[in-house]
Amino acid sequence: IMQKYSLTPGELHSRLQIADWLLYSLHEIALVIRKKGILTPLKKLRVRIEKGVREELLPLVTLEGIGRVRARKLYNAGFRLLEDLREAPVESIARIVGEKIAIKIKSQLEGKKETKERQTSLL
């Protein structure tokens, strides 16, 4: 993005902050005028800007320790949904993100309510 639009890192950061503020403001306005239909898309867009990901990676970046790079690696390896990770053996996840992160992912997916709540709040 910086090269494509000739931006410095500071300019990019500033524009991302402004975009986030505008989306937050729009979200609050939508609450006041009772336009609930746009709340979820606005939340998703804010998370996308914060995490720097496309929409297909949103479920994966809800996991602690998974950012845009690891999410993309998992997605490209066929783990598109949290359910895919839940059903996969630790070893197959570990080949992509390493053993410690794979164990952390599995522990988050095996019955921890906070992961589901966090995913719901982000999406």
pLDDT tens track for 84-117: 999 999 999 999 999 999 999 999 998 654 545 5
More confident residue, 113 or 77: 77
Which amino acid is residue 119, in one-letter code? Q
Q: What is the dihedral of CA 14, 16, 21, 22, to 10 degrees?
A: 110
Predicted pLDDT of residue 115: 47
Predicted pLDDT of residue 117: 55
pLDDT tens figures, 23-69: 999 999 999 999 999 999 999 999 999 999 999 999 999 999 999 99
Predicted pLDDT of residue 123: 56
**Phi/psi zone of residue 78: left (φ > 0), alpha (ψ -120 to 50 degrees), beta?**
left
User: Which numeric CATH code is attached to 55-112?
Assistant: 1.10.150.20
d(CA 92, CA 109): 15
